[in-house]
Amino acid sequence: MKDDRSRELWQRSQKVIPGGVNSPARAMLAVGREPLFIRSARGCYIEDVDGNRYIDYVGSWGPLILGHADPDVVAAVKKAAEKGTSFGAPTEAEVNFAEMLTRLIPSMEQVRLVSSGTEATMSALRLARGYTERDLIVKFDGCYHGHSDGLLVASGSGLATLGLPSCPGVPAEVAGLSVSIPYNDLAALEKLFHEKGDKIAAVIIEPVAGNMGVVPPAPGYLQGVREICDEYGSLLIFDEVITGFRVALGGAQELYGVTPDLTTLGKIIGAGLPLGAYGGKAEIMQKVAPCGPVYQAGTLSGNPLATAAGLRALDMLDVAGVYQRLEENSAKLYDGLGDIFTKAGVPHYGNRVGAMFSYFFQKGPVTDWTSASKSDTEAFGRWFRAMLGRGVYLAPSQFECTFMSLAHDADAIEQTLSAAEEAIKEV
Ligand SMILES: Cc1ncc(COP(=O)(O)O)c(C=O)c1O
Ligand SMILES: NCC(=O)CCC(=O)O
């Protein structure tokens, strides 16, 4: 694999960009190589600046469930751009988009558009605190909700990958308002509420965790979390930045039949453009300025290019059979990989929910961060590099997801499994 040009760019980039990357997850530090610089992508393929082509299972970290450069999405963005890239005033597309979101995710009676998942969760927490007039937030070890101060506590994603349990720069007073406890452990949540329930504004949870690798909720767990929140008058926030429009059209809340008070979205709803959203019960959303006192704003919020892309993408997902196809293709790849690991005698444990899955290099089971962190990350690094060398681009961390898209067809799956049969010999 030739990577001269990527290397050269990495040398240059490190002089002007910390670590050479604009987000730590891209650095590939945990898998023992330098990042590849990408010049283009289409469908399920990405191409780096040295001309290597890979089947891509990162999908820009989740947004590209339609595949890269979907022609309809690109056309919608072009058309919107010609009419102006930002107005700082309301548009018809925003109304259409909000109507679509509230129709497809009925618990979101009202919705605010923002520009990232981080903004969505940060704003939802502020609203929950403003609404309940309480300060404490509960989160779960290994879950990641973006990089706002109060959420960088026992976080998943890049912090888990780099082994950063906390983050300098977050004042202890702020971190102290977020309590993090193990995922999938109702007894721990009950105990915490028993002690501090009247101070807890909200519980924020990834209804399927995707930032410690994929960890599904145990049967009944989300229902249990809902009941505890109700008992103590705390809000339940589902962070569906990853799971929204991925595990089902109506997200994890539809799949598991549990209704949160607030939902946060990002990734897929922007189809690769910067777009996030938070929303929920109208009574709560009415507290947001200008109709209420909880301030939240954004120069580029509801950006016309992003909403045009999002509208087109959600239209294409709201078609009978789409999620069935994603499910079937994801199962085919996931099962095929499992067979290859088994045949090779490599200890592994898999978790999959729809079009997101992870294989952990350990015997498992993996139900929370404590169990996920027991994985053999050196083995994962060897696996990652062996797959990359055979044209398959996986997320460069044991603690991230493999994302399928509608562009991953039978051919791509076949090629991936052939690569895996060879690659596993190097693990
Ligand atoms: C569940 C979850 N919430 C929030 C975020 C933050 O989103 P963003 O990176 O768009 O700020 C992410 C991913 O990065 C995420 O996976
Ligand atoms: N699952 C983790 C992410 O999606 C993060 C991507 C990033 O921060 O670059």
H-assigned helices in 185-321: 186-196, 221-232, 251-256, 282-285, 304-317
What's the mean pLDDT in 299-320? 98
79 catalytically annotated:
no
Q: Name, in order, each residue with C-beta under 8 angstroms of 209's C-beta and a sequence gap of 6 or more.
A: 140, 142, 143, 156, 183, 215, 216
Cα(111)–Cα(366) distance, integer angstroms: 34
Q: Which residues have any ligand 2 atom within 6 Å of their CB?
A: 23, 25, 61-62, 144, 157-158, 210-211, 400
CA–centroid distance, 118 to ligand 1, in Å, is: 6
155 Cβ below 6 A of ligand 1? no
Q: Render 270-297 in DSSP notation, one character per residue.
A: GTTSS-EEEEE-HHHHTTBTTTSSB---
- Could you tell me the pLDDT band of residue 307, with boundaries at 50, 70 and 90? very high
Nearest CA to ligand 2 atom 2: 157
Closest CA to 192 of 144, 229, 230: 229
Choice among 49-53, 157-161, 194-198 with the minimum mean pLDDT = 157-161
- Name the closest ligand to CA 122: 1
pLDDT at 158: 79
Whether the full predicted model's pTM is greater than 0.90, yes or no, is yes
Cα(265)–Cα(225) distance, integer angstroms: 20
312 Cβ below 6 A of ligand 1? no
- List beta partners, residue 204: 237
Query: pLDDT tens-digit profile of 25-57?
Result: 999 999 999 999 999 999 999 999 999 999 999
**CA angle at residue 218 from 217 to 221, to 5 degrees?**
80
C-alpha neighbours within 13 Å on the C-beta side of residue 215: 32
pLDDT at 26: 95
pLDDT at 203: 98
Q: Which of 3, 48, 141, 239 is catalytic?
A: 239
Q: In this structure, are residues 256 and 288 in contact, taking their beta carbons and an 8 Å threshold?
A: no
Residue with the bigger pLDDT between 172 and 185: it is 185
CA–centroid distance, 157 to ligand 2, in Å, is: 6
What is the b/e burial string over 18-35, where b = at least 16 CB atoms within 10 angstroms of the residue's CB?
eebbeebbbbbbbbebbb
Please determine, for residue 84, whether its predicted confidence score (pLDDT) is greater than 90: yes
- Pick 4-69+321-426's CATH classification: 3.40.50.2000, 2.40.30.10, 3.90.1150.10, 1.20.59.10: 3.90.1150.10
pLDDT at 163: 77
Cα(74)–Cα(317) distance, integer angstroms: 16
CA–centroid distance, 61 to ligand 2, in Å, is: 6
| 71-317: CATH topology | Aspartate Aminotransferase; domain 2 (3.40.640)
Q: Which of 57, 267, 323, 368 is catalytic?
A: 267
Q: 155 is written with which tokens?
A: 């976080």
CA–centroid distance, 342 to ligand 1, in Å, is: 33
Residue 215's alpha-carbon distances to 86, 148, 328, 363, 369, in angstroms, are: 38, 23, 20, 15, 9
pLDDT at 72: 98
161 Cβ below 6 A of ligand 1? no
Cis amide leading into 365 (omega within 30): yes
Cis amide leading into 290 (omega within 30): yes
400 Cβ below 6 A of ligand 1? no
Cα(341)–Cα(358) distance, integer angstroms: 13
Average pLDDT, the chain: 97
Q: Name, in order, each residue with C-beta under 8 angstroms of 105's C-beta and a sequence gap of 6 or more.
A: 244, 250, 251, 253, 254, 263, 265, 279
Nearest CA to ligand 1 atom 14: 146
> Ligand 1: which of 61, 64, 121 to mutate, most ligand atoms within 8 Å of CB?
121
Neighbours of 167 (CB within 10 A): 14
Distance of alpha carbon 253 from the chain centroid:
15
Query: pLDDT tens-digit profile of 235-292?
Result: 999 999 999 999 999 999 999 999 999 999 999 999 999 999 999 999 999 999 999 9
83 catalytically annotated:
no
pLDDT at 281: 98
- Could you tell me the pLDDT band of residue 156, with boundaries at 50, 70 and 90? confident
Nearest CA to ligand 1 atom 16: 242
Q: Which of 54, 57, 144, 256 is catalytic?
A: 144
> Ligand 1: which of 21, 148, 267 to mutate, most ligand atoms within 8 Å of CB?
267
- Could you tell me the pLDDT band of residue 159, with boundaries at 50, 70 and 90? confident
Cα(136)–Cα(417) distance, integer angstroms: 46
> Ligand 1: which of 144, 206, 262 to mutate, most ligand atoms within 8 Å of CB?
144
Sequence ranges of the domains in the chain: 4-69+321-426, 71-317
> Ligand 1: which of 145, 214, 300 to mutate, most ligand atoms within 8 Å of CB?
145
- Could you tell me the pLDDT band of residue 129, with boundaries at 50, 70 and 90? very high
User: Where do we find the tokens 């690798």?
Assistant: 213
Radius of gyration of the chain from its Cα atoms, rounded to whole angstroms = 21
Cα(377)–Cα(188) distance, integer angstroms: 28
Collapsed DSSP state (helix, strand, coil) of residue 302: coil
Please determine, for residue 165, whether its predicted confidence score (pLDDT) is greater than 80: no
pLDDT at 183: 98
